[in-house]
Amino acid sequence: MGRSRKRVPSDATAAAPDPKKWVDPRAKKAAGGGKRAPAVQKIAIDELRFEWDGSSVDHDYSGSWDWDLEPKETADLLALLSSLRALTWREIKEQKFNSKHSTRQLHHSQDVSTLCKEAQDRLTDIGRGDQEALFRLRHGNLIRVWGVLEGPVLRLLWFDRLHEVCPTES
């Protein structure tokens, strides 16, 4: 005996998605409406080489973490990215720095809820409001480079020259 299958008619009147808004197809909106979608990592990246991409850079933001770089800032950024490209993600995550009181990770994931309100609002403005965490690279004492980690690729967002995106973390 064969089972009959119900055909579900396609909704030709459904609104087309906004082409300007980026939606992470891997994450599903959590039930409950207001919760952020969990970041879904489909592949283990620790043994993969670091990659970066500049196509997601937030060029429209104007403020202390914009991309209006001085020549020295550009050189420092390129030196940082170049130094990381030969490393695996495990090696990057294991890098430490010593402060007066403790040893901490140099580069790490940061929960969006801990970012300043302006950064959280900006993520929503650029269609990335569903992100649960960003990844940040530390360069020197103040500079942070923020991005979205998608597989082994860090999609750059902001150049935080004054440590203002998340001022309470180290």
What's the rounded Cα separation, in Å, for the pair 123 and 129? 5
User: Is there a domain that residue 23 lies in?
Assistant: no
Residue 81: pLDDT above 50? yes
Q: Is residue 46 part of a domain?
A: no
The pLDDT value recorded for residue 78 is 96
Looking at the structure of the chain, the number of domains it has is 1
Name the token pair of 61.
């933001």
Q: Is the pLDDT of residue 34 over 60?
A: no
Residue 129 has pLDDT above 90, yes or no: yes
Distance, in Å, from the CA atom of 165 to the CA atom of 75, rounded to the nearest integer, reads 21
Query: What is the C-alpha to C-alpha distance for residues 65 and 88, in angstroms, rounded to an integer?
Result: 27
* Confidence tier at 12 by pLDDT (50, 70, 90): very low
| Distance in angstroms (rounded) separating the CA atoms of residues 50 and 137 | 12
Bigger pLDDT: 37 vs 152: 152
Output the pLDDT for position 113: 95
Q: Taking a C-beta distance cutoff of 8 angstroms, is the pair 29, 40 a contact?
A: no
Mean of all residue pLDDT scores within the chain: 82
pLDDT band at 21 (very low <50, low <70, confident <90, very high): very low
Prediction pTM value: 0.73
- For residue 97, the one-letter residue type is F
Q: How many percent of the chain have pLDDT more than 70?
A: 74
pLDDT at residue 36 in the model: 55
Q: Which helix (H) or strand (E) holds 147?
A: strand 143-150
In this prediction, residue 102 carries a pLDDT of 80
Choose among 8, 128, 154: nearest CA to 119: 128
What is the gyration radius of the CA atoms in the chain, in angstroms? 19
Residue 28 lies in a domain: no
**165 assigned to some structural domain:** no
Residue 154 structural domain: 51-160
Q: Is residue 45 one of the residues assigned to a domain? A: no
The Cα 120–Cα 112 span in angstroms is 7
Q: What is the pLDDT of residue 20?
A: 45
Looking from the CA of 169 toward its CB, the CA atoms found within 13 Å total 22
Q: Is residue 29 part of a domain?
A: no
Q: What pLDDT does 99 receive? A: 75
Half-sphere exposure of 103 (CA within 13 A, CB side): 3
In a domain, 167, yes or no: no
Tokens of 18: 């906004």
Residues in the chain: 170
Evaluate whether residue 133 is within a structural domain: yes
